[in-house]
């Protein structure tokens, strides 16, 4: 079986990492193509994969309006994907614009996502052209729901399920001092097309957060944007592979990154999300309403966010309580990477099985390791 993965973001790398390694170990021919995006190439190199970067210069064109740039980027990417795949034979494509290339070359494609359509409407081009969409059951894709193979879980479980992730405190010793509790804050840049008119943690809010937390433990800030001079002392440079360990051991995580808030939540770390996105994303609402692992705060009322942080700080046995909540979540969700490996390995028969019996995926609930499950 020949499989082509297209990774366009570090989050895509994390979602597929376990799956790609397992498929390679089982003897399948797995090709990987990437673009220049944040730390993506560094992560791929650290994993030791053979890969091709079809956009080493990056896809963004400076000086163009974000929508114009996105359209040109789409066309350029499709061209380079067609050029890369010319003369090669694949049984399955996985990822983003490979959905269009798959249509042109008559190769079936899978599009994994956890973005709801209302939040990221530009993904409609992938949803319309893919054969199947792989997404959490809770993800609302409107007219494309008929294409969705919904799984019981969340994207973050693909790499943070206890079958694959073991927290290691030695990985964070570089910044730990005196055995104190620490708080992790994430500030994003808001530069994507779906980020227009969106906002999150401002410098003013960040300063107040620091004042609330600084007497209760260490403060670590990881930020995509510049920080005021007085806050720079809290910025840390985390090694790419260590961020999950920081999330696990943090007393509280606060951020305007939905991805990192969901990762903290599935690790059993209290997370507070402060941005314009939370209410649009069903899985984040489910993580709050059903499991109580994360809390979404409206930017229109930052005082509520500060009160929630204070409430968490004053909760006895906070971490023990949230680890119990995590165990409940794990008991009710599946091993997403084991499920994905089975789905890919047995495609397209696996799709027919899931459409006939969606509960078939429940067999991936109690797996302790990735083992062949054929049909």
Q: pLDDT tens digits, residue range 343-361?
A: 999 999 999 999 999 999 9
Percent of the chain residues topping a pLDDT of 70:
94
Of 266, 277, 128, 255, the C-alpha closest to 198 is 277
Contact yes or no for 350/372 (Cβ under 8 A): no
Q: How far apart are CA 162 and CA 334, in angstroms?
A: 11
Q: Where are the alpha helices (DSSP H) in 115-169?
A: 124-129, 157-160
β-strand partners of 222: 186
3-state secondary structure of 92: strand
- Give the position of tokens 């720079």: 232
The model carries a pTM of 0.89
3-state secondary structure of 317: coil
Q: What is the mean pLDDT of the chain?
A: 90
Contact yes or no for 345/371 (Cβ under 8 A): no
- Domains annotated on the chain, with CATH: 2-153+334-364 (3.40.50.2000), 169-331 (3.40.50.2000)
Q: What φ, ψ does residue 115 adopt, rounded to 5°?
A: -90, 130
Tokens of 332: 């009710």
Band of residue 371 on the pLDDT scale cut at 50, 70, 90? low
Pairwise pLDDT comparison (242 vs 81), residue with the higher score: 81
């Amino acid at each position: 079986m020949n499989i082509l993965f297209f990774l366009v973001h570090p989050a895509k790398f994390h979602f597929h990492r376990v799956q790609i390694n397992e498929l390679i170990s089982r003897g399948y021919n797995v090709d990987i193509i990437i673009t220049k995006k944040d730390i993506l190439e560094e992560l791929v190199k650290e994993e030791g994969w053979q890969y091709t970067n079809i956009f080493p210069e990056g896809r963004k064109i400076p000086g163009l309006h974000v929508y114009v740039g996105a359209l040109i980027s789409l066309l350029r990417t499709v061209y380079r994907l067609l050029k890369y795949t010319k003369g090669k034979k694949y049984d399955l494509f996985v990822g983003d614009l490979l959905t269009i290339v798959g249509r042109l070359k008559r190769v079936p494609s899978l599009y994994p996502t956890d973005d709801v359509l209302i939040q990221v409407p530009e993904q409609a081009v992938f949803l319309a052209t893919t054969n199947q969409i792989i997404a959490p059951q809770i993800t609302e894709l409107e007219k494309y729901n008929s294409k969705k193979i919904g799984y019981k879980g969340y994207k973050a479980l693909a790499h943070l399920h206890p079958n694959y992730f073991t927290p290691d405190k030695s990985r964070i010793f570089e910044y730990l001092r005196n055995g104190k509790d620490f708080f992790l804050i994430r500030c994003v840049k808001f530069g994507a097309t779906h980020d227009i008119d969106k906002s999150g943690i401002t410098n003013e809010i960040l300063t107040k957060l620091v004042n609330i937390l600084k007497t209760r433990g260490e403060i670590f800030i990881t930020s995509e944007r510049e920080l005021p001079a007085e806050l720079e002392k809290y910025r840390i440079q985390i090694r790419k592979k260590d961020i999950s360990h920081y999330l696990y051991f943090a007393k509280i995580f606060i951020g305007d990154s939905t991805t990192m808030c969901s990762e903290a939540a599935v690790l059993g770390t209290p997370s507070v999300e402060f941005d314009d996105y939370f209410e649009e994303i069903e899985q984040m609402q489910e993580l709050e309403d059903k499991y109580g692992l994360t809390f979404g705060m409206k930017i229109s009322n930052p005082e509520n966010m500060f009160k929630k942080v204070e409430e968490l700080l004053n909760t006895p046995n906070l971490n023990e309580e949230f680890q119990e909540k995590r165990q409940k979540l794990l008991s009710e969700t599946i091993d997403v990477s084991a499920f994905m490996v089975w789905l890919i390995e047995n495609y397209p028969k696996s799709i027919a099985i899931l459409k006939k019996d969606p509960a078939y995926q429940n067999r991936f609930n109690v797996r302790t390791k990735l083992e062949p499950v054929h049909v």
